Structure 1
């Protein structure tokens, strides 16, 4: 699991759903929750929370990622690659800390991902979980 610590920046509620923005350093992450400040007492602006997401939910992109709808983007540099026949574990050093992605070894080859390469790690809004 990838875990980042930050503070709630804003909360937008519609019915039983909330879009919560969490600031981690200079980056702002968005997540959608089936909770509201009325049902989850930890949901308030400036509260310290952890953002949690699986390594298998981290998408890697090479080049300019400005024309993509994913909002949770982390630029970084590849610090470690561990590959076997099917899967590869790629570690990316970002300003928020090390992010780990598990993708297919074929994707690593196709994208020509190598040590010290700059790339972007991305996570969909619905794949982020919050914890106190």
Structure 2
């Protein structure tokens, strides 16, 4: 599980749902939360939170100029690869933080991923969870 620290920078709420922007180092994550500042104490601007998302939800692209709907597009450097028969674990360095991705080994080979490659890590907004940073 990827767990990063961040600070809430913006909250937009409507009908019990919030779109929350969280600054983590130099990157802004977007997350959809089924709460509002009225229903969850941790949803306050400038509040420290944990940003949580599964390794299997991190998509990797070598195309650095994507025009797609995925909001969380994190520039990274491939730090290491651990190839298995079916799956490959990739450690990505993003602004002094490690993000882990697990993709199929077939996809890793199709992308010809190697250490020190520049890539974009993609995480859909609805796959990013937030929790209070206690």
**TM-score in same-fold range (> 0.5):** yes
What is the SS of the residue equivalent to 2:110? helix
Match of 1:109 in 2: 109
Shift of 1:96: 4.7
How large is the Cα RMSD of the aligned pairs? 0.9
- Matched-pair contact (CA < 8 Å) for 1:51–1:131: yes
1:1-59, Cα deviation, whole Å (9 max, x unpaired):
11111100010001010000001112111000111111101100000001000000000
CA–CA distance in 2 between the matches of 1:18 and 1:86?
A: 37
What is the SS of the residue equivalent to 2:42? coil
Q: TM-score by structure 1 length? A: 0.97
What is the SS of the residue equivalent to 1:106? helix
Alignment of 1:1-132 (within 5 A): 1-132=1-132
Shift of 1:68: 1.5
Q: Which sections of structure 2, spanning at least 5 residues, go unmatched?
A: none
Shift of 1:73: 1.2
- Matched-pair contact (CA < 8 Å) for 1:4–1:96: no
